[in-house]
Amino acid sequence: MKSSSSILPLLALATSLASAFPRYLSQAFLHPRSASEGRTISNGLPGCPFVKRQAAGVTPPFDAKQQYVSNAGKHAFVPPSGSDRRGPCPGLNAMANHGYLPHNGVGTIEDLISGTAEAFGMGIDIATILAIYGAIFDGDLKSFSIGGPAPSLLGLGGLLGEPRGLSGSHNKYEGDGSPIYGDLYQYGNNLPQVSQFTALYKLGQDNEDSVDLDVLTKFRLQRFEQSIAENPYFFLAPFSGVIVTSAAYTFIYRFMANKSAENPEGRLNGETLKSFYAVTGDYPNFTITPGHERFPGNWYKRNPVDYYTIPYFIEDALAMDIQHLQFLSVGGNTGTTNSFVGVEPADLTNGVFNVANLLEGNNAFCFGTELILQMAPDILSGLFHDITKALGTLTSAVGNATLGLSCPQLTSIDKDLFRQFPGYTKLNSNGMYYN
C-alpha cells in the first residue's frame, strides 16, 4: 500500500478564503508560517491559547454566563417539517432545530459564521472556510443547504441546476469514513448508522463514560479499516477525505463536550453524545431519528478566549495523524474491498512535492492550497454554467494566502492517477440525500 501525505489543505483554504471575505476575519487569526509559531486572535491572546499551556497544567477559564447555550424560549427544540433540510452534520442540524440557524436549514455565509460561534464557540477562521466552501461547492456562492436540494436556490449563481446541499456533495464536502454517517456507496445513502454510533458509544463507556480525542482517534482507525474492508468505492479525496474527516472527529469532542468549572475543556459523556446525534434508547438497543439532533439541557460551549481556531485544529489533526499516518493518505479502493491504493505526492505533482518535503517548512500548507486549486475546475464545471466567478474567488484567495510562504509553484497535477478509483469518478454524479 502506498501512502500519501496531503496534510491539512483545510488550513490552506481557510486563509485563502479569508482574502475574498476579509470582513469576516478582520478580527481573527489569519495564517501561520508553521503550526508551532505564536499568533494572535481578536482578544490579543495566543491564537492557539491553551494547546501548549495545557501541558503545563493551565486550563481555559469557565464563565457560566458567557458559555451557556440555551435550548429554551426562542431556542427551544422544534423538529424539522417536511420542507426543512437536515443533513450529515449533527451540529448544524441541532443549530437549525434550536434557531441558531434558519429553521429551514438553508443559511447564508453570515448565518453559518455567526451561528457556529454563538452555539459552539467555533473560531471565525474555521467557520469562514466551511461556510464559503459550502456556498461555492454546495450552494449558490452566497448560501447553501445543510441537507438536500433547496428550491429557493434554484437557478441562482449561474448554476447548472439546483444546488445539491451538503447531503448531495459526496466526496466534495462530506465523505467516506465518517464517524456516524454511512459511506454513500456502501449503503446507498449517507444516513447515520446505529452500528457506528454503538461502537463509538461503547468506546466512551470503556473510557469511564468519556468520549475524548484518544477515544475518537481509536474510533477513526476502526472506521478507516472498516471502510476499506466493506466499501469497494472507498475514496479519500484531498479535502473531504483527509481534512473534513479529521474535522469530523475532532469536532465531536471539541464542540460537543460540555464545559464546566470542574471540566473547563469539556467532558463528553454518553447522554450528551446521544442528544447531539438524535439517539434514543439504552445500550446496545439504540434508535436514531435523523434530523432531530438537540442541544442538551444545562450545556455550555467553549469560552470566548478559547474558541476553536485553525491553529487549534492543526494541533489536534496532527496529534491523530502522527499516531496513524494512514489518515494522511489520498487514494482509495479500486472497485473491490481491501484494494486500497494511495497516490504518491511526487507522482501527483510531477515531483514538486514528495513525502519528505511535505513535512518541511510551509510545504504541507502550500500543497493543500495548490492541489485544491488544481482540482477545482473539474468539480466546478459540473456545478456551474460558467465557473469564472467561483474559480476566480478561489484563485485570488489562494494566491493571497500563499504570498510570502515561498511555496513551490504547482502549475498542474496528474489527475489521471485518480481515475483508478471509482469513488473519484463519481465525484460529478449526484450524491444521495435524505431530506
Q: Sketch out the chain's domains with CATH numbers.
A: 9-425 (1.10.489.10)
Q: State the pTM of this model.
A: 0.85
pLDDT at 4: 33
pLDDT at 178: 96
Size of the chain in residues: 435
Distances (CA, A) of 417 to 148, 173, 323, 334, 378: 30, 20, 27, 12, 14
pLDDT at 50 over 70: no
SS3 259: coil
Residue in the block written with cell 454546495 = 138
Q: Max alpha carbon distance in the chain (Å)?
A: 58
Cα separation, 250 vs 262, whole angstroms:
21
Please tell me whether the peptide bond between 46 and the residue prior to it is cis, using omega within 30 degrees of 0: no
Give bridge partners of residue 280 from the DSSP assignment: 287
318 vs 51, more confident: 318
C-alpha cell at 433: 440525500
State the first-to-last Cα distance of the chain, in angstroms, to the nearest integer: 38
Assign 397 a pLDDT band (cuts: 50, 70, 90): low
pLDDT at 16: 38
What average pLDDT does range 195-202 have in this prediction? 98
Residue in the block written with cell 511555496 = 407
User: Which string of b and e fits 268-307 if b means at least 16 CB within 10 Å?
Assistant: bbbebbbbbbbbeeeeeebebebbbbbbbeebbbbbbbbb
Q: What does DSSP say about strands 341-342 and 279-282: parallel, antiparallel, or unpaired? A: unpaired
User: Where would I find the beta strands (DSSP E) of 12-142?
Assistant: 68-69, 106-108
C-alpha cell at 58: 493551565
- Percent of the chain whose predicted confidence (pLDDT) is above 70: 79
Assign 365 a pLDDT band (cuts: 50, 70, 90): low
pLDDT at 339 over 60: yes
Alpha helices by DSSP H, listed for 52-144, are 64-67, 90-97, 109-120, 124-138
Per mean pLDDT, which range of 49-58, 124-133, 136-145, 149-158 is the poorest? 49-58
pLDDT digits (tens, 9 = 90+) for 312-330: 876 787 778 778 878 777 8
pLDDT digits (tens, 9 = 90+) for 201-245: 999 999 999 999 999 999 999 999 999 999 999 998 877 777 788
pLDDT digits (tens, 9 = 90+) for 1-33: 333 333 333 333 333 333 333 332 222 222 222
Closest Cα to residue 288, out of 103, 92, 90?
Answer: 90
Closest Cα to residue 137, out of 101, 175, 92?
Answer: 175
pLDDT at 280: 98
pLDDT digits (tens, 9 = 90+) for 261-272: 999 999 999 999
Assign 372 a pLDDT band (cuts: 50, 70, 90): confident
C-alpha cell at 381: 464545471
Cα separation, 32 vs 20, whole angstroms:
18
Q: How far is CA 259 from the centre of its chain?
A: 22
Torsion of CA 209, 212, 215, 216, to 10 degrees: 130
pLDDT at 39: 33
